[in-house]
Structure 1
Amino acid sequence: MSPTTSLACACGQFKLTLRGEPITSVACHCDSCRAAGVRLQRLACARPLLDPLGGTRFVLYRKDRIRFVAGMDRLKAFRLSSDASTRRVLASCCNTPVFLEFKGGHWLSLYGALWPDATLPPLEMRTMTGDLADASFLPADVPNFKRQSFSFFARLLNAWIAMGFRSPRIEVGGEIHA
């Protein structure tokens, strides 16, 4: 039987469950994630998004392994610009970041801040470190990739194949401006 993980926003009004193992667990250092992190951390009651090294922790899961249990009406989208191909989704009840979704993607990048302390899956790699002015300060505890690596894309492709090349849509009502 595959493991099940239950997660919730800071106030508990939004809940989800995850089935099975994640695709991967990463810290993204791209310009967009860092800019969004700065903006979203300013919202009332918001949890910190940027780790001490300036990355945003994500745990990637196949969409078909995520079940929204409660509070879907609380989800609101945030986009860095009106034409952005990514949307970051927050639980508006307490401004908890929930996930980042790439347009047409078959996975969700769930924000690491959803996991209670000491339960966050271990970091496997840092991505997009090439966007940093100087990445020499990053420790060598995990691979630090300038872009997404071949293994990163291979994991995403394998997940998509396992899903039968489906990319389920997730409807979110409304937007948050930060």
Structure 2
Amino acid sequence: MSAECLCNSCRTAADRMEALPGAPRLREVSGGTRMEVYRKDRVRCIKGAEHLRAFRLNDKTRTRRAVAICCNTPVLLDVTVGHWVDLYGVLWPEGALPPLQLRTMAGTLDDPSSLPEDVPNLKTYSAAFFFRLMASWAAMGFRRPKIDYIKGEIDLSR
């Protein structure tokens, strides 16, 4: 699934990661963060895992983001209790990113009416979104693989 997340956490995290020296721009014109959603059993790091560091907005969150510290590129968002992982859109070469399918969490914006109407701008997560997640989880035999190749942490607190 190709999505753009507009939640406060994704926007805050993007601001912090973009502030790293040489980091790519994560936020789209809409203010959201572009991500490609994949099943965890279909994602692996084949090279450079030694450069990945976890970043969490706070010590209580179940969500961690991985940043490649060699180039300060955000790589993924891991919902640690989930079966899916979000890969940041900046990883795709120009012209190769799949078409955007939806924006989610538009209800967290002060003025969601300013969003383009090129795809659905969902106020929150939709039933169809959760259905797709549940269908993929069922296809995985309800397993929750762990992403175990991210070693160490990066502190981006402000």
TM-score normalised by L of structure 2: 0.96
Shift of 1:91: 1.0
The aligned length equals 155
Aligned to 1:160: 137
Aligned to 1:175: 153
The structure carrying a bigger helix percent of its residues is 2
Aligned to 1:19: none
- Secondary structure in structure 2 of the residue aligned to 1:34: helix
Identity of aligned residues (%): 52
Aligned to 1:146: 123
Q: How does 1:125-136 map to 2 (within 5 A)?
A: 125-136=102-113
Could you tell me which amino acid in structure 2 is paired with residue 112 of structure 1?
G
- Secondary structure in structure 1 of the residue aligned to 2:138: helix
In 2, Cα distance between the equivalents of 1:164 and 1:109?
A: 20
- Secondary structure in structure 2 of the residue aligned to 1:35: helix
Shift of 1:103: 2.2
Aligned to 2:57: 80
In 1, Cα distance between the equivalents of 2:59 and 2:85?
A: 20
In 2, Cα distance between the equivalents of 1:66 and 1:38?
A: 25
In 2, Cα distance between the equivalents of 1:166 and 1:43?
A: 35
Aligned to 1:36: 13
Structure 2 runs not aligned, ≥5 long: none
- Report 1 or 2 for greater relative contact order, CA contacts < 8 Å, sequence distance ≥ 6: 2
Worse overlay, 74-83 or 64-73: 64-73
Could you tell me which amino acid in structure 1 is paired with residue 143 of structure 2?
R
Could you tell me which amino acid in structure 1 is paired with residue 37 of structure 2?
L
In 2, Cα distance between the equivalents of 1:126 and 1:26?
A: 6
> Deviations 1:16-43 (Å, cap 9, x if unpaired)?
xxxxxxxx10000000000111111000
In 1, Cα distance between the equivalents of 2:21 and 2:93?
A: 20
Q: Say what the alpha-carbon RMSD is for the aligned residues.
A: 0.8
TM-score normalised by L of structure 1: 0.85
Structure 1 runs not aligned, ≥5 long: 1-23
